[in-house]
Amino acid sequence: MRENRKHRGSDIIKHRTVAIIGDVTSRRQGSAIAAESDGGERTSRASESPAAPALRFAPPEDPAALGRAWQAHLAPVFAVSFGPETDLTVPIAMRSYHLGELLVGDVIAPAHILERSPEMIRQQGLDHILLQFYRRGQSLVETDHDAEPVGEVQCIVFDLAQPARIVAGAVDATNVVIPRVLLEKQGCHPDALHGRPLDHDGDPFGRLVHSFVANVVACGDRLDQREALAAAAAITQLCATWLRGRDAGNPVPHQDVRIRVRRFIEAELGNPKLSPALIAARLGLSRSTLYRVFAPNGIVSYIRDRRLMHAMRMLVRDEAQPARVSRVAFAVGFSDERTFRRAFKRRFGFIPSDAAQRPGPGRGPEPLSVLQTWIESL
């Protein structure tokens, strides 16, 4: 009986691996197949609004390079190492979708060790929450406070602003990456949940959350940008509702300078007076510290990029009733429309009024930099 269950589980993982890898070589080919099966419906919809950006891990042709490629793919979030039990001959698959305000995806991976060190946290300054819903697999999650075993049908909460080390067996999981600020707007403070496993299958609402996220991932290639934004809003509200009450009710203070500054910038994006001098005065920091922690591009460049990314989301979201460019410009802190138009075109390569018909935020120039670009764009 146990042997039969083992074989069935193996068959399911193989089937899911094929589904995830799917059209890894060509989304264009996949879109053509979908358009043909829908009688051209998808083609006409795509011409009106671009599809949500998708990213798949592409295994190298050389099997000896598989481990290095997997390490590079996950480098924006975790440092990856392998133990003697790691079997790199089994398929590795990961797909991710940029929904405008958050990322979703799923992964099938062999046994490995993931680590998010204090140094990595300082360098990246990410202020996001990663929810990983296990379908199969087990791991041990070590944080500064505890070590928790995670089993099948459990969800592990990772605060990417806190250190963690995960010793994982082979896993099959659904992932969600949400900026902390979106959860906090819903009254959810998941800081204290870092490293804690939650039962998403035994809890009816948890099962609903996982089912919804998994279905969004399954439909990821068919979503346009407006649909992706709507799905992202629903996922945020569902996750915040599920986590709220399980958290401690108050945020855990983070001392990392970059994260403190990022939070302040996000709250003040609409303020045309937002500047290094204002940030330094409000947070009690020296300007040299600000320039150092935001090197090499600088804090002024970072502020401008965050304003433009927020403007892009506003323009895409208002596609049904196109937002006045001037209104968007002022909403993200630009003092005049002309300066905004020039900055927007330099950043994205097209003018603001064309945003709804162009690929949204999250497309990076090089495959191995895409995931990092996506997370930083949220």
Q: What angle do CA 135, 106, 90 make, to 5 degrees?
A: 80
In the numeric block, which tokens belong to residue 94? 């990961």
Distance from C-alpha of 332 to C-alpha of 311, rounded to nearest angstrom: 6
| Calpha distance 195→156 (Å, rounded) | 6
Lowest mean pLDDT among 13-17, 193-197, 256-260: 13-17
- pLDDT digits over 265-312, tens only? 988 999 999 999 999 999 999 888 888 888 778 889 889 988 998 888
Domains recognised in the chain with CATH numbers: 2-243 (2.60.120.280), 257-377 (1.10.10.60)
User: What average pLDDT does range 53-82 have in this prediction?
Assistant: 92
pLDDT of residue 315: 84
Per-residue pLDDT, 290: 87
Question: For 238-255, what is the mean pLDDT?
Answer: 72
User: Which has more confidence, 282 or 260?
Assistant: 282
Q: Residue 26: which pLDDT band, with cuts at 50, 70 and 90?
A: very low
Asked which of 10-14, 51-55, 168-172, 214-218 is least confident by mean pLDDT, the reply is 10-14
Mean pLDDT for the stretch of residues 177-190? 91
Span 230-245, mean pLDDT? 94
At 314-369, the pLDDT tens digits run: 887 765 455 688 999 999 999 999 999 999 999 888 899 888 776 554 443 344 36
Q: Mean pLDDT across the stretch 24-52?
A: 44
pLDDT at residue 363 in the model? 41
Confidence at residue 356, expressed as pLDDT on a 0 to 100 scale:
73
pLDDT of 313: 79
- Statement: residue 253 has pLDDT above 70: no
| Band of residue 23 on the pLDDT scale cut at 50, 70, 90 | very low
* Structure confidence at residue 191 (pLDDT): 84
